Amino acid sequence: MSTDVVAIHNVSKIFDGGDNRVVALDNVSVTIAKGEMVAIMGPSGSGKSTLMTIIGLLDVPTSGTYLLDGIETSGLDRTAQAGVRNQKLGFIFQNFNLLPRLSALQNVALPMVYARVGVSEREARAKAALEAVGLGNRLNNRPNELSGGQKQRVAIARALVNNPAILLADEPTGALDSRTGQEIMALFRQLNREQGITVIVVTHDAEVGKQMDRIVSLRDGQLNMDALHEYYGINTDALGRVVKEVPHVG
């Protein structure tokens, strides 16, 4: 039985606007195993955002196949896609996407409203998720009463609350200072290590990429590992596994 939670085979995505035909992804194949921490990286226009939207079931490929946690997604209609998305994926965004009039607890509980979870269970699970990210003392605070790092922790708790197969994060440290960004990456690593959660991060930040287990590198819509060193100075092996730098002792 496969342990891959993402299995993308020969996927292409073409945006056809008549004279303006754009091949965003060109015959890309990617697998990500359960429990991996993987970065998707590449320069502007490389196709990384398109790949993220396909993994996140926010768009469909023009051709090729995509299995999400064993589910073939190509034949799903929009309603079925939404159901799988809510069940299998937790999304984290650069700008948090929290509702300003709701408390941290209410923001985290929101995905369970769509999943038709009862009120008492929603509150219990939202509280547990906030405690897991170190915000058990901020349950009733609204977003404007929280720091950037705290807002991102609320967003992570919200992404976790339905026990997804994958946390899919789009530039999760982009709106944070470097110290807070490091704290968020440490939290991802903790969740990965302690709960076995698969983490996929779309980023242009080399420091974020270096902290992942493996990198999927794109250029001009195709897999291209050479771009990692050229654009980011990151070294990987042939499978995209990050070669960790050994601290210099002098």
CA distance 59 to 57: 5
CA distance 150 to 18: 45
Q: Where are the domains of the chain?
A: 36-61+76-232
| pLDDT beyond 80 at 178 | yes
- How does residue 156 score in pLDDT terms, banded at 50, 70 and 90? very high
| pLDDT beyond 70 at 248 | no
What pLDDT score was predicted for residue 245? 65
| Other beta carbons less than 10 A from residue 9's beta carbon | 14
**Rounded mean pLDDT, 19-33:** 92
Residue at token pair 């076995």 = 196
What pLDDT score was predicted for residue 246? 52
What pLDDT score was predicted for residue 167? 95
CATH superfamily of 36-61+76-232: P-loop containing nucleotide triphosphate hydrolases (3.40.50.300)
**Rounded mean pLDDT, 57-72:** 94
| pLDDT beyond 80 at 115 | no
| pLDDT beyond 70 at 154 | yes
Residues 18-45, buried b or exposed e (16+ Cβ, 10 A)?
eeeeebbbbebebbbeeebbbbbbbbee
Nearest to 218 by CA among 198, 200, 240: 240
CA distance 78 to 60: 10
Model-level pTM? Answer: 0.90
DSSP tag of 2: -
pLDDT digit string (tens) for 94-110?
889 999 999 999 999 99
